[in-house]
Every structure is written in C-alpha cells, then in structure tokens.
Amino acid sequence: MKKINKGKIINKRNKLLKCPTGIKGFDEITEGGLPQNGTILVSGNAGSGKTIFGVDFLIKGATDYNELGILMSFEETEDELYKNVASLNMDLQSLVSRKKILLENVILERRDITAGDFNLEGIFVRLEHAIDSIGAKRVVLDSIESLFASITDIGILRLEIKRLFRWLKEKKVTAIVTGEMALNGSYTRHGLEEYISDCIIHVDNRVRDEMATRRIRVIKYRGSSHGTSEYPFVIDAEGLSVIPISSAGLEQPGTNKKVSTGIPSLDKLFASGKGYTRGSTILVSGTAGSGKTSFGGGICTGKL
C-alpha cells in the first residue's frame, strides 16, 4: 500500500502480526514467534519433540502472555499427557485445574466411521465449545495422522483437511497441528497439510556415532523472514530451549587500546602506527626457514 505524504510516496507494508511462543531461542529465529491466527504444522518422527513443543507453546501462552489454550489429543489421554511431562518442570496439571488450559481427548475408532460419510462436524462442535468456554487464543491438535487414520478415500481426506485448516483460521486462533514425516520425505503422511499451512516447523532427533542430537528448522513461513538453518535444541526441566547459532557470538566489546610491538619501525606498519590491538591474536605465517620463530622472539624481546 502506498501513502502520499507532502509530495512523497511512502511504501507502507502490512506487518505480519506474530504470536510469541515464549520458547527460549525460538522467537529469535522466527523474528517474533508464530504467525498470529495462523495454522502451523510441526512435523517430525516419533520421539522428536512435537507434542512437547505444542505443550510448551500452550503453557508459555497461559503463564507469560495470558493467552489461554486448548490441547486436543487424538492419541493420549489426560493422564498419559501428565505422565509425559512429569519429568519436566511444566505446570500443566495446575493450569488445567485452573482452566488456563483445557485438555480434550478424542479417540476415533474405525467402527465409528461410515465409509464415504466422514466429516469433522463432531470435532468442530467440541473444539468450538472448548475455545468459547475459556476464550482460548491458542490451539494444539495432536496429531493429524491419528485424526484421519481411518479415512481411505483420498478425495474426502483432502476435503476435510482443507476444511479443518479453514475452520481454524475463521476461529482466529493460533493453531499448531502436529504430523509425522512420511517415508517419501513429505512432512506429513498425507502430503497436503504442508501446502496449506502458514508455517512449517521440522523437529528431528537423530543419532550419529551413538550420540543423539535434537534439531529444529523452520521450513516455511508465509509473509515473514526467518532463520533457515538447522538449530540444536534441548528438552530439559524448563521445556524447550532452541540454541540459535547467532546467539553463540562473542559479546565482549572491542577496544581502541594498542600494544606496541617494542619495535618502533614495525609499529609504523600498522594503520594506527602504534602496534597491535590489545587482546588480539596475531598469526605469523611463512615457509620453513623464513624466520617465523625469530620474528616472534624478536617481538617478545623488543628486538628484531
């Protein structure tokens, strides 16, 4: 959009609103968090940390940003979820008891689904009631494979997935949907969610040389720049912590102080004319016999 101001044309871009996750390091690599009121796919293999990412997102939302949340699980019961985070310092059970977070467990059996007659109306009714009952702003659905596991008709499957994502947008909630990587490299087994998601996050727990390493990568983020590298992350008592490479930079401020080499003629060769910068490391390079050791010794003694 262009705005005219005193004869000047100013380009005014609509800034994408973001929902901070509160997860250490993650908001740094996404420049503020997840797309507000968007739908985010968190993809990864079993044990990679998808569910913990979603739970941490809800807990930080309730405790740090006063945004209440819904966790609808199609795999684990309420007790199983509590056990999964028991070793972590996550106050999930207390937040649920205070209605800061609502847990909804939905188990779909094949016998409950009539071939060719599957739709999400029951899920929508239940989810809408939960959202409206506490004014939730954050939703986590875990996982989309379990929700659509019994659907074999590809046409119905695609229609209902699109319908689900559109419904979440209309409810104006920031929604995380977890999914499992497919063998063909797709970020879900269905291969459709990744195209209609606003953001895709891939989490990975790989083992190399008998060492396990967790990695996270933002694959896609509509309307926003973001870090595109793989970043290590850990799951500890405080939840998730992402370690951006940029955070590992040196924070010690520089100095203008100089240290003389002890050799006036050598000092004059530096731009300052006063010698080395204090605290710096100097590399003296040369072929064998060129005088590197003698040069270093001369500098130390002030004689060359």
Whole-angstrom CA distances from 93 to 47, 67, 85, 89, 100 are 22, 17, 10, 11, 10
What is the tens place of the pLDDT at every residue in 94-127? 999 999 999 998 876 655 554 455 667 888 999 9
Higher pLDDT among residues 12 and 63, named by residue: 63
| Cβ(195)–Cβ(180) below 8 Å | no
What is the tens place of the pLDDT at every residue in 27-75? 999 999 999 999 999 999 888 899 999 999 999 999 999 999 999 998 8
pLDDT of residue 10 exceeding 50: no
Pairing status of strand 231-236 against strand 211-221: antiparallel
| pLDDT for position 191 | 67
Higher pLDDT among residues 267 and 163, named by residue: 163
Pairing status of strand 138-142 against strand 39-43: unpaired
| pLDDT for position 63 | 94
For residue 210, the tally of other CB atoms under 10 A from its CB is 5
Please give the angle made by the CA atoms of 28, 32 and 35, to the nearest 5 degrees.
130
User: Is the four-CA dihedral 256, 261, 265, 266 of positive or negative sign?
Assistant: negative
Residue type, 262: G
Mean pLDDT estimate for the chain: 82
Residue type, 154: I
Higher pLDDT among residues 151 and 200, named by residue: 200
- What pTM does this model have? 0.74
| Cβ(208)–Cβ(221) below 8 Å | no
Question: What are the extents of the domains in the chain?
Answer: 16-248, 258-301
Q: Which of 9-23, 173-187, 285-299 has the highest mean pLDDT?
A: 173-187
How many percent of the chain have pLDDT more than 90?
Answer: 39
Higher pLDDT among residues 12 and 215, named by residue: 215
Cα 199 from Cα 76, distance rounded (Å): 25
| pLDDT for position 155 | 79
| CB neighbour list of residue 295: distance below 8 Å, 6 or more residues apart | 284, 304
| Cβ(228)–Cβ(217) below 8 Å | yes
| CB neighbour list of residue 123: distance below 8 Å, 6 or more residues apart | 72, 106, 147, 164
Higher pLDDT among residues 150 and 46, named by residue: 46
| Cβ(24)–Cβ(160) below 8 Å | no
| pLDDT for position 14 | 60
Superfamily of domain covering 16-248? P-loop containing nucleotide triphosphate hydrolases (3.40.50.300)
| pLDDT for position 109 | 62
